[in-house]
Protein backbone atom coordinates (compact mmCIF):
# COMPACT_ATOMS: atom_id res chain seq x y z
CA UNK A 1 0.00 0.00 0.00
CA UNK A 2 1.24 3.49 -0.86
CA UNK A 3 2.53 5.47 2.09
CA UNK A 4 3.26 9.07 2.89
CA UNK A 5 6.77 10.07 3.93
CA UNK A 6 7.71 11.13 7.43
CA UNK A 7 9.56 14.31 8.37
CA UNK A 8 12.18 12.79 10.67
CA UNK A 9 13.71 15.50 12.86
CA UNK A 10 16.95 14.59 14.61
CA UNK A 11 18.23 17.11 17.14
CA UNK A 12 20.91 16.98 19.81
CA UNK A 13 23.64 19.09 21.32
CA UNK A 14 26.56 19.28 18.93
CA UNK A 15 28.76 16.19 19.28
CA UNK A 16 26.08 13.81 20.61
CA UNK A 17 26.10 11.84 17.35
CA UNK A 18 23.43 13.29 15.03
CA UNK A 19 25.43 13.17 11.79
CA UNK A 20 26.78 9.70 12.56
CA UNK A 21 23.29 8.35 13.23
CA UNK A 22 21.81 10.14 10.23
CA UNK A 23 24.36 8.36 8.03
CA UNK A 24 23.59 5.01 9.71
CA UNK A 25 19.89 5.56 9.11
CA UNK A 26 20.49 6.20 5.44
CA UNK A 27 22.72 3.12 5.16
CA UNK A 28 19.76 1.20 6.59
CA UNK A 29 17.36 2.72 4.03
CA UNK A 30 18.97 4.62 1.12
CA UNK A 31 15.55 6.00 0.12
CA UNK A 32 15.58 8.33 3.14
CA UNK A 33 16.38 11.81 1.81
CA UNK A 34 18.40 14.39 3.74
CA UNK A 35 16.96 17.88 3.85
CA UNK A 36 19.76 20.16 2.62
CA UNK A 37 19.54 23.35 4.68
CA UNK A 38 20.38 26.79 3.38
CA UNK A 39 22.78 28.78 5.53
CA UNK A 40 24.52 32.15 5.56
CA UNK A 41 27.63 30.72 7.25
CA UNK A 42 30.67 30.00 5.09
CA UNK A 43 31.60 26.47 4.08
CA UNK A 44 34.07 24.55 6.22
CA UNK A 45 36.90 22.56 4.63
CA UNK A 46 35.45 19.57 2.84
CA UNK A 47 31.85 20.83 2.81
CA UNK A 48 30.20 20.77 -0.60
CA UNK A 49 27.63 23.35 -1.71
CA UNK A 50 24.30 21.67 -2.42
CA UNK A 51 25.29 18.53 -0.49
CA UNK A 52 26.10 19.60 3.07
CA UNK A 53 24.34 22.96 2.82
CA UNK A 54 23.30 25.50 0.25
CA UNK A 55 25.63 28.37 1.12
CA UNK A 56 23.83 31.63 0.34
CA UNK A 57 24.09 35.32 1.18
CA UNK A 58 22.05 36.96 3.92
CA UNK A 59 19.91 39.01 1.45
CA UNK A 60 19.13 35.83 -0.53
CA UNK A 61 18.24 34.03 2.68
CA UNK A 62 15.89 36.82 3.72
CA UNK A 63 14.19 36.74 0.30
CA UNK A 64 13.52 33.01 0.62
CA UNK A 65 11.98 33.52 4.07
CA UNK A 66 9.95 36.48 2.85
CA UNK A 67 8.64 34.49 -0.14
CA UNK A 68 7.47 31.65 2.14
CA UNK A 69 9.97 29.19 0.67
CA UNK A 70 11.34 28.06 4.06
CA UNK A 71 9.57 25.43 6.12
CA UNK A 72 11.43 26.78 9.16
CA UNK A 73 14.42 28.96 9.87
CA UNK A 74 16.55 29.99 12.84
CA UNK A 75 19.51 32.05 13.91
CA UNK A 76 22.22 29.75 15.30
CA UNK A 77 25.83 30.61 16.25
CA UNK A 78 25.40 34.04 14.62
CA UNK A 79 24.27 32.66 11.25
CA UNK A 80 20.92 31.95 9.60
CA UNK A 81 19.85 28.41 8.82
CA UNK A 82 16.66 27.20 7.18
CA UNK A 83 14.99 24.18 5.56
CA UNK A 84 13.63 24.77 2.03
CA UNK A 85 9.99 23.68 1.78
CA UNK A 86 9.58 22.50 -1.83
CA UNK A 87 11.82 19.38 -1.73
CA UNK A 88 10.09 18.24 1.46
CA UNK A 89 6.58 18.45 0.06
CA UNK A 90 7.64 16.58 -3.10
CA UNK A 91 9.37 13.83 -1.15
CA UNK A 92 6.70 13.07 1.42
CA UNK A 93 3.92 13.07 -1.18
CA UNK A 94 5.85 10.49 -3.20
CA UNK A 95 6.31 8.34 -0.09
CA UNK A 96 9.94 9.16 0.78
CA UNK A 97 10.97 10.12 4.32
CA UNK A 98 13.00 13.31 4.81
CA UNK A 99 15.59 13.60 7.56
CA UNK A 100 16.29 16.99 9.17
CA UNK A 101 19.44 17.74 11.15
CA UNK A 102 18.14 20.93 12.75
CA UNK A 103 18.04 22.58 16.16
CA UNK A 104 15.12 22.83 18.60
CA UNK A 105 13.89 26.13 17.13
CA UNK A 106 13.41 24.49 13.73
CA UNK A 107 11.84 21.40 15.31
CA UNK A 108 9.34 23.61 17.12
CA UNK A 109 8.38 25.52 13.97
CA UNK A 110 7.84 22.32 11.96
CA UNK A 111 5.81 20.84 14.83
CA UNK A 112 3.53 23.91 14.55
CA UNK A 113 3.31 23.82 10.74
CA UNK A 114 0.59 22.21 8.59
CA UNK A 115 2.95 19.23 8.12
CA UNK A 116 2.83 18.44 11.86
CA UNK A 117 0.81 15.20 11.46
CA UNK A 118 3.73 13.72 9.52
CA UNK A 119 6.50 14.74 11.90
CA UNK A 120 8.60 12.27 13.88
CA UNK A 121 10.95 14.12 16.23
CA UNK A 122 13.86 12.45 18.00
CA UNK A 123 16.31 13.98 20.44
CA UNK A 124 19.71 12.46 21.19
CA UNK A 125 21.28 12.90 24.60
CA UNK A 126 24.93 12.15 25.35
CA UNK A 127 25.61 9.62 28.14
CA UNK A 128 27.45 12.38 30.07
CA UNK A 129 28.82 15.90 29.60
CA UNK A 130 32.37 14.52 29.90
CA UNK A 131 31.67 12.12 27.03
CA UNK A 132 30.09 14.94 24.97
CA UNK A 133 33.29 16.96 25.32
CA UNK A 134 35.39 13.90 24.52
CA UNK A 135 33.41 13.34 21.30
CA UNK A 136 33.69 16.97 20.22
CA UNK A 137 37.45 16.91 20.83
CA UNK A 138 37.82 13.46 19.24
CA UNK A 139 36.09 14.60 16.06
CA UNK A 140 39.09 16.87 15.53
CA UNK A 141 37.03 19.37 13.55
CA UNK A 142 36.98 22.44 15.78
CA UNK A 143 39.43 24.69 17.59
CA UNK A 144 39.41 24.77 21.42
CA UNK A 145 37.54 28.07 21.26
CA UNK A 146 34.78 26.69 19.02
CA UNK A 147 34.48 23.61 21.26
CA UNK A 148 33.92 25.88 24.28
CA UNK A 149 31.20 27.75 22.37
CA UNK A 150 29.53 24.48 21.40
CA UNK A 151 29.68 23.23 25.01
CA UNK A 152 28.06 26.45 26.26
CA UNK A 153 25.29 26.11 23.72
CA UNK A 154 24.80 22.40 24.45
CA UNK A 155 22.93 22.99 27.65
CA UNK A 156 20.49 25.31 25.92
CA UNK A 157 19.83 22.62 23.30
CA UNK A 158 19.50 19.86 25.94
CA UNK A 159 16.99 21.94 27.90
CA UNK A 160 14.46 21.43 25.06
CA UNK A 161 14.52 17.62 25.19
CA UNK A 162 10.93 17.57 26.52
CA UNK A 163 9.31 18.71 23.24
CA UNK A 164 10.47 15.66 21.22
CA UNK A 165 8.44 12.49 20.52
CA UNK A 166 11.39 10.21 21.37
CA UNK A 167 14.56 10.73 23.37
CA UNK A 168 17.52 8.35 22.99
CA UNK A 169 20.68 8.30 25.09
CA UNK A 170 23.39 7.68 22.49
CA UNK A 171 25.68 5.49 24.56
CA UNK A 172 26.41 2.45 22.40
CA UNK A 173 26.21 3.44 18.72
CA UNK A 174 24.86 0.11 17.41
CA UNK A 175 22.18 -0.01 20.11
CA UNK A 176 21.08 3.57 19.33
CA UNK A 177 20.96 2.83 15.62
CA UNK A 178 18.78 -0.24 16.30
CA UNK A 179 16.40 1.83 18.44
CA UNK A 180 16.22 4.48 15.75
CA UNK A 181 15.34 2.00 12.99
CA UNK A 182 12.73 0.39 15.26
CA UNK A 183 11.10 3.79 15.83
CA UNK A 184 11.09 4.65 12.12
CA UNK A 185 9.68 1.22 11.21
CA UNK A 186 6.80 1.65 13.67
CA UNK A 187 6.08 5.29 12.83
CA UNK A 188 5.74 4.49 9.13
CA UNK A 189 2.62 2.56 10.11
CA UNK A 190 0.97 5.56 11.74
CA UNK A 191 -2.54 6.05 10.37
CA UNK A 192 -1.64 9.50 8.96
CA UNK A 193 1.17 7.89 6.95
CA UNK A 194 -1.08 5.45 5.09
CA UNK A 195 -3.25 7.49 2.69
CA UNK A 196 -4.63 4.33 1.07
CA UNK A 197 -6.34 3.09 4.22
CA UNK A 198 -9.75 4.68 3.57
CA UNK A 199 -9.94 3.05 0.12
CA UNK A 200 -8.87 -0.25 1.57
CA UNK A 201 -11.52 -0.15 4.28
CA UNK A 202 -14.14 0.88 1.70
CA UNK A 203 -13.14 -2.16 -0.34
CA UNK A 204 -13.44 -4.34 2.76
CA UNK A 205 -16.91 -2.94 3.33
CA UNK A 206 -18.03 -3.73 -0.22
CA UNK A 207 -16.71 -7.25 0.14
CA UNK A 208 -18.34 -7.61 3.55
CA UNK A 209 -21.74 -6.48 2.24
CA UNK A 210 -21.49 -8.74 -0.83
CA UNK A 211 -20.87 -11.72 1.42
CA UNK A 212 -23.78 -10.99 3.73
The residues binding ligand 5GP (CB under 6 A) are 14, 37, 41, 72, 74, 76-77, 81-83, 101-103, 105-106
Interacting stretch for ligand ADP, rule CB under 6 A, among 53-61, 106-114, 131-139, 192-200? 131-139
Q: Which residues pair with 167 in a beta bridge?
A: 123
CB of 203 to ligand 5GP, least distance (A): 41
Interacting stretch for ligand ADP, rule CB under 6 A, among 15-23, 54-62, 160-168, 198-206? 15-23
CB-CB contact of 180 with 21 (8 Å): yes
The CA–CA distances, whole Å, from 96 to 34, 40, 80, 140 equal 10, 28, 27, 34
Cβ atoms within 10 Å, residue 134: 13
102 binds, among ligand ADP, ligand 5GP, none (CB under 5 to 8 A by kind): ligand 5GP
Q: Which CB, 85 or 194, lies closer to ligand 5GP?
A: 85
Interface map 168-207 toward ligand ADP (x if CB under 6 A): --x-xx--x-------------------------------
Among 75, 79, 116, 138, binds ligand ADP (CB under 6 A): 138
CB-CB contact of 183 with 120 (8 Å): yes
Q: How far is CA 83 from the centre of its chain?
A: 10
**3-state class (DSSP) for residue 195:** coil
Residue 37 within binding range of ligand ADP, rule CB under 6 A: no
Cβ atoms within 10 Å, residue 200: 11
CB-CB contact of 71 with 83 (8 Å): yes
- Site residues (vs ligand ADP, CB under 6 A): 12, 14-20, 135, 138-139, 170, 172-173, 176
Amino acid sequence: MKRRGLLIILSSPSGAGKSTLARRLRDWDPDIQFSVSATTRSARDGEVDGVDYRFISEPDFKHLVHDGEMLEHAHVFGNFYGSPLAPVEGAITSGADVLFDIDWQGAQQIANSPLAPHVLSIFLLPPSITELRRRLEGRGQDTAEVIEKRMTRSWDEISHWGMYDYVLVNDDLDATKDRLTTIVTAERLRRTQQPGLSDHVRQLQIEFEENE
